[in-house]
Amino acid sequence: MAASSSVLESATRSQTGTFQQLVVEQIPQWCDVVDQFIQWQSQRMLRASPSPQEEEDHRQGLKWLLRLTRLIHSVASDPEFPDKTMLAQLEAQMSQLEESWELFYNRMPSAEAEKILAEAFPNGR
């Protein structure tokens, strides 16, 4: 019994290292995906007139990128995660994605914007 449990423990330890390495190797690839999306967003959503289909693709893509980046960030935030430099990159990208969501999908209503501008510049703009 003792021999089989030590073999199992040894196999589990080696798999744990493999799983850990797999995650560490995948994060830079995920960051590349986010970078490509941000570039596409800049070209198609900010500098061009996107089609309704592109607008919907953007909304859905951004929603899923935010979800998955938050999930990956939670893994990288674990105290036992081996490479803390990746955490900073994920945080920066998560911030970019959240700012994109705010820019495109949580816009301030025009009336509220006008009220703020009137308060800030009572003598006109």
Is 125 domain-assigned? Answer: no
pLDDT mean across residues, the chain: 87
Is 9 domain-assigned? Answer: no
Is 82 domain-assigned? Answer: yes
Q: Is 27 exposed, middle or buried (0-12, 13-18, 19+ CB in 10 A)?
A: buried
Domain with 96 in it:
27-120
Share of the chain above pLDDT 90, in %: 62
First-to-last C-alpha distance (Å) of the chain: 82
Is 49 domain-assigned? Answer: yes
| pLDDT interval class at 90 (50, 70, 90) | very high
Highest mean pLDDT among 39-43, 105-109, 119-123: 39-43
Res 8 pLDDT > 80: no
CA–CA dist 12, 110 (Å, integer): 58
Do residues 87 and 77 make contact, with C-beta atoms less than 8 angstroms apart? Answer: yes
Res 2 pLDDT > 70: no
CA–CA dist 19, 28 (Å, integer): 15
Do residues 45 and 54 make contact, with C-beta atoms less than 8 angstroms apart? Answer: yes
* Total domain count, the chain: 1
Bigger pLDDT: 84 vs 3: 84
Res 5 pLDDT > 70: no
DSSP 108: P
- 51 is written with which tokens? 């089609």
